[in-house]
Amino acid sequence: MVRIASSLYARTALTLAIAFVLFQAAAFAVVYRTLIIPLAERSADDLAGLIVLSAQTWVELPPQTRAAFERELADRHGLRLTAGDPGAVADAPQFAFRAQIETALSRRVGEPVKLRGVPGTRAAWLDIPTGGHALQVGFYPARYAVKPPLAAIAVIALGALLSLVTALLLVRRITLPLARAARAARQVGAGQLPEPLPETGPAEVAELARRFNTMATEVRELLDNRTTLLAGISHDLRTPMTRLQLHLEMLRDAPSPARIDRAVADLADMNKLITGYLELARTTQAEAKTRFDLAVLLEEVATDAGLAGFSAAPCTVEAGRLALRQIVSNLIQNAQRYGDAATVELELECSELGARVTVRDAGPGIPEDQLEKVFRPFYRLEASRSEATGGSGLGLAIVRQLAATHGWKVSLANRKTGGLEAVLEIRR
């Protein structure tokens, strides 16, 4: 119960309910003061005028016609007019707007009027001294009392109800997607991949759902990558560690410089593997942007990789310099490893929209259904992870992760003339 009361839906609904109740109360007060009371006072004044006029007419009529006049008043207007004592000794029954009627009668008669009643009846009586006669006039409040305008009250009540129901529906429409997002966030926190949120409703809610679905997928992929990374570390380090242990055991009995060299080589392989894993782990953190000439950076990378003949016009970009260098270096190394190293080409295209770096080779290419899979950590087109046949399969995974972290795009495509083309797109 406490949790429900503290929810956004309950708090918003309660706030709207209080606001609507206060608004309707204020609206009713305005209608009551500006419409109901004026109508009641006017109706009370009309009734008082009818009573006084009837009494004055009764006095002026000949005695033989007064009885007929009294019957006509009773039949047409529900008024009783008599010079006798009707037995009105008690206070008149309470009814709506009695005060307005007594005030109007007092003003017409010229003295305070207090309505009296006959026990056991619902009639209200008053004394009207006129023309030397003490007349008694009676009427039924149910017929003459001004009734509240029920239609106006009904409209206000219906408006309040419809407004409140509409507000509750709107609040639920807004809070329901938020509740779904909260449940999905808990699932993501628990390492699960929730069902995609419906990307419907208002633009802001749909955008929130779209962003959350993308985030949930990225978190799940990140967890999968970390799991794969740990599995890869366990698998890839086991072989050199086993060889190293074997060399150390053999060195106990027969020290040999060759075995020591092989043990050192195994340690170097382990260090290289760990360095690759650490590079992949660091790709989730974006590098601070700096402004530099991309053409100069690519010339340095080409020189380090042994590519001759690269040149490009100046191209100033604002990006992570080290991340760009690593991505291009990995693409060039991949092209040299799997293609013909002598035919690797590096090209830079610069425009107002951004920069485009292309690395081409003349190798065998990649099957179309494998072009995206090669970006997965440890995925290789052949089963081994030997340095002689291509390494551990982390190069392209690092490239894709670094590019995604910095908002760049990397893609692979087979060339029509043979070979592979890797493209890095940098948007300004």
Q: What is the mean pLDDT of residues 417-423?
A: 90
Res 348: pLDDT: 93
Same domain, 324 and 419: yes
Name the residue among 391, 393, 389 with its Cα closest to residue 374.
393
Highest mean pLDDT among 62-71, 351-360, 381-390: 351-360
Same domain, 347 and 406: yes
Res 355: pLDDT: 93
Confidence of residue 410 (pLDDT cuts 50, 70, 90): very high
In angstroms, the CA 295 to CA 348 distance is: 7
Same domain, 339 and 268: no
pLDDT at 387 over 60: no
Q: Higher-confidence residue: 118 or 278?
A: 118
Q: What is the pLDDT of residues 213-255, one digit of tens each?
A: 888 777 777 766 666 666 656 666 776 777 777 777 777 777 7
pLDDT at 259 over 70: yes
3-state secondary structure string across 279-320 = HHHHCCCCCCCEEEEHHHHHHHHHHHHCCCCCCCCCCEEEEC
pLDDT at 9 over 70: no
In sequence order, the 6+-apart residues with CB closer than 8 A to the CB of 366 are 374, 381, 412, 414, 420
- Among 96, 121, 150, identify where a domain stops: 150
Residue 165 domain-assigned (yes or no): no
Same domain, 269 and 327: no
Same domain, 103 and 61: yes
Confidence of residue 411 (pLDDT cuts 50, 70, 90): very high
Residue 186 domain-assigned (yes or no): no
Residue 367 domain-assigned (yes or no): yes
User: What is the rounded average pLDDT for all residues in the chain?
Assistant: 79
Q: Could you give phi then psi for residue 79, rounded to 5 degrees?
A: -95, 140
- Least-confidence region, from 52-56, 141-145, 332-336: 141-145
Residue 163 domain-assigned (yes or no): no
Within 32-91, residue ranges assigned H as helices are: 37-60, 63-77
Q: What is the pLDDT of residues 398-409, one digit of tens each?
A: 888 888 888 899
Same domain, 141 and 7: yes
Same domain, 316 and 384: yes
Residue 111 domain-assigned (yes or no): yes
Res 167: pLDDT: 72
Residue whose token pair is 């009207």: 128
Residue 162 domain-assigned (yes or no): no
Same domain, 218 and 326: no
Same domain, 54 and 129: yes
Looking at residue 83, which CATH number applies to its domain?
Answer: 3.30.450.300
Name the residue among 82, 55, 56, 77 with its Cα closest to residue 67.
82
Res 232: pLDDT: 59
Residue 319 CB neighbours (<10 A): 22
pLDDT at 420 over 60: yes
Confidence of residue 392 (pLDDT cuts 50, 70, 90): low
- Show the tokens assigned to 21: 């109740």
The share of the chain scoring above pLDDT 90, in percent, equals: 10
Number of domains in the chain: 3
Q: What is the pLDDT of residues 331-371, one digit of tens each?
A: 998 888 887 777 889 999 999 889 999 999 988 888 888 88
Res 236: pLDDT: 62
Residue 366 CB neighbours (<10 A): 17
- Among 150, 172, 192, identify where a domain stops: 150
Phi/psi zone of residue 149: left (φ > 0), alpha (ψ -120 to 50 degrees), beta? beta
Q: What is the mean pLDDT of residues 95-112?
A: 83
Residue 96: CA atoms inside 13 Å, Cβ hemisphere, count?
15
Looking at residue 222, which CATH number applies to its domain?
Answer: 1.10.287.130
Same domain, 277 and 329: no
Are 139 and 123 in contact by the 8 Å Cβ rule? The answer is yes
Q: What is the pLDDT of residues 263-322, one digit of tens each?
A: 777 787 777 767 766 665 666 667 788 999 999 999 999 988 888 878 889 999 999 888
Residue-range definition of the domain harbouring residue 131? 2-150
- Among 150, 168, 196, identify where a domain stops: 150
In angstroms, the CA 287 to CA 279 distance is: 13
Q: Higher-confidence residue: 43 or 232?
A: 43
Same domain, 339 and 221: no
Q: What is the mean pLDDT of residues 110-134?
A: 80
Residue 341 domain-assigned (yes or no): yes
Q: Give the H/E segment covering residue 402.
A: helix 395-406
Res 181: pLDDT: 80
- Least-confidence region, from 260-264, 391-395, 411-415: 391-395
